[in-house]
Amino acid sequence: MKPTQKLHDLGQSLWLDNITNDLLTSGTLKRYIDEWSVTGLTSNPTIFDHAIKGSTAYDAPIRELLAKGQSGEALFFDIALADLTQAADLFKPIWEKTSGVDGYVSLEVSPLLAYDTKSTLAAAKDLFARAKRPNLFIKIPGTKEGLPAIEEAIFAGVPVNVTLLFSREQYVAAAQAYMRGVERRIAAGLDPDIASVASLFISRWDVAVAGKVPDALHNRLGLAIARRAYKAYIDLLASPAWQRAYNSGARPQRLLWASTGTKDPKASDIMYVKELASPFTVNTMPEGTLKAFADHGDVGAPVPMDGGDCEQVLAEFAKAGIDIDALAAKLQDDGAKSFVNSWNELLGVIVSKSAALKKAS
């Protein structure tokens, strides 16, 4: 049995953290679905920046949109929606087979709105309505300002992928925002079955402390953070409040492992896949990591529901001078800034390509 199938059979969803027009038109994404048990897909500004910058596949649609008077951010979202709705259609049979548990694609609101609750909500509702696909998540950052937008989006019936979560505390805050939206739907007599995932970023923890801790702690922080959050996830799933919501027809928000590509060239290229095997979760991985796991993957023991040794490991990091809470806040802030930088680069590529195509026409 293929490693990807083993992971899927354990109860974890494998999603691809990538989208390009070539993936769609070449049949590669369809092959990943059919042969490697891929059941969903995520995107972000960096992915689209690389896709548009590194390919001529987008030249024709950009020309068409320019002819219609589109430009800048509006032009980008038309391109992104074209790709992601195609991908959503490929995953639609999975969405139907799993009754809406799996088979999703994700599109992010503008990172410039990460600290603007009202605009984030308006953008989320608009993008979901334009996509006209029930299996499309709108990605909203789990920042302090993003939490009210998450609650309101869920209340409005918009499926949400909460992004930029780095710690147990940030995850729990996002999960509670989701549940507030669900409970409000129940109180209003609305269908509470609105899907959501909460994306916890893993590898950036180990990058942040590389060279700052003893060798014995090398590449152990991200996994310890993940195990701590997983225990909180299991506890929430079993909590009376969540069970009351299930009894009214709600579905659980799933925990998603993000940033699972290994950044350390000396470490295993499947480390964050093998070590994060866990039922009823999602692992969204870069294409290179997916290929590596399909080639030589090994499914490890499931993440302990009680978090295993995470607290002991985190205590060792504290002794080494690492302030977990402060670092979590910094990673979230840095992540938001990184997405803004990628967004600005992306819009710059759109502008330069638009100018070149206008000149050539």
* Confidence (pLDDT) at 75: 93
Average pLDDT over the chain reads 96
Q: Give the list of residues 6+ apart from residue 299 with CB closer than 8 angstroms, or none.
A: 3, 6, 7, 10, 274, 277
- Look up residue 95 and give its two tokens: 């969405």
Active site annotation includes 291: no
The residue-averaged pLDDT of 56-72 equals 90
Q: What is the pLDDT of residues 264-299, one digit of tens each?
A: 999 999 999 999 999 999 999 999 999 999 999 999
The residue-averaged pLDDT of 166-188 equals 98
HSE-up of residue 271 (Cα within 13 Å, Cβ side): 20
Share of the chain above pLDDT 90, in %: 88
Q: What angle do CA 329, 13, 288 make, to 5 degrees?
A: 75
CA distance 125 to 119: 10
* Confidence (pLDDT) at 357: 82
* Confidence (pLDDT) at 52: 87
Single out the residue of 192, 120, 127, 193 nearest to residue 162, CA to CA.
120
Task: Please state the φ and ψ torsions of residue 285, each to the nearest 5 degrees.
Answer: -125, 150
Q: Tokens 């599109």 appear where?
A: 107
Q: For the purposes of burial, counting CB atoms within 10 Å of the CB of 320, is it exposed (0-12), middle (13-18) or buried (19 or more)?
A: middle
Q: What is the pLDDT of residues 80-120, one digit of tens each?
A: 999 999 999 999 999 999 999 999 999 999 999 988 999 99
CA distance 300 to 328: 26
Kindly name the residue from 139, 144, 353, 359 that is annotated as catalytic: 139
Other C-beta atoms lying within 10 Å of the C-beta of residue 103: 25
CA distance 86 to 78: 12
The residue-averaged pLDDT of 220-242 equals 98
- Look up residue 268 and give its two tokens: 């295993």
* Confidence (pLDDT) at 359: 81
* Confidence (pLDDT) at 49: 87
Q: Give the list of residues 6+ apart from residue 291 with CB closer than 8 angstroms, or none.
A: none
* Confidence (pLDDT) at 55: 81
pTM of the full predicted structure?
Answer: 0.96
Q: 159: pLDDT confidence band, cut at 50, 70 and 90?
A: very high
Q: Tokens 């032009």 appear where?
A: 75
Q: What is the 3-state secondary structure (H, E, C) of the chain?
A: CCHHHHHHHHCEEEEEECCCHHHHHCCHHHHHHHHHCEEEEECCHHHHHHHHHCCCCCHHHHHHHHHCCCCHHHHHHHHHHHHHHHHHHHHHHHHHHCCCCCCCEEEECCHHHCCCHHHHHHHHHHHHHHHCCCCEEEEEECCCCHHHHHHHHHHCCCCEEEEEECCHHHHHHHHHHHHHHHHHHHHCCCCCCCCEEEEEECHHHHHHHCCCCCHHHCCCHHHHHHHHHHHHHHHHHCCHHHHHHHHCCCCCCEEEEECCCCCCCCCCCCHHHHCCCCCCEEEEECHHHHHHHHHHCCCCCCCCCCCCCHHHHHHHHHHCCCCHHHHHHHHHHHHHHHHHHHHHHHHHHHHHHHHHHHHHC
* Confidence (pLDDT) at 122: 96
Q: Domains of the chain, with CATH numbers? A: 3-360 (3.20.20.70)
| Count, residues in the chain | 361
Q: What is the pLDDT of residues 189-224, one digit of tens each?
A: 999 999 999 999 999 999 999 999 999 999 999 999
* Confidence (pLDDT) at 36: 98
More confident residue, 66 or 233: 233
- Contact assessment for residue 254 and residue 12, using Cβ atoms and an 8 Å cutoff: no
Q: What is the pLDDT of residues 5-34, one digit of tens each?
A: 999 999 999 999 999 999 999 999 999 999
Q: Tokens 């059919």 appear where?
A: 34
* Confidence (pLDDT) at 116: 92
Q: How far is the CA of 346 from the CAs of 51, 86, 335, in angstroms?
A: 10, 21, 16
The residue-averaged pLDDT of 63-91 equals 94
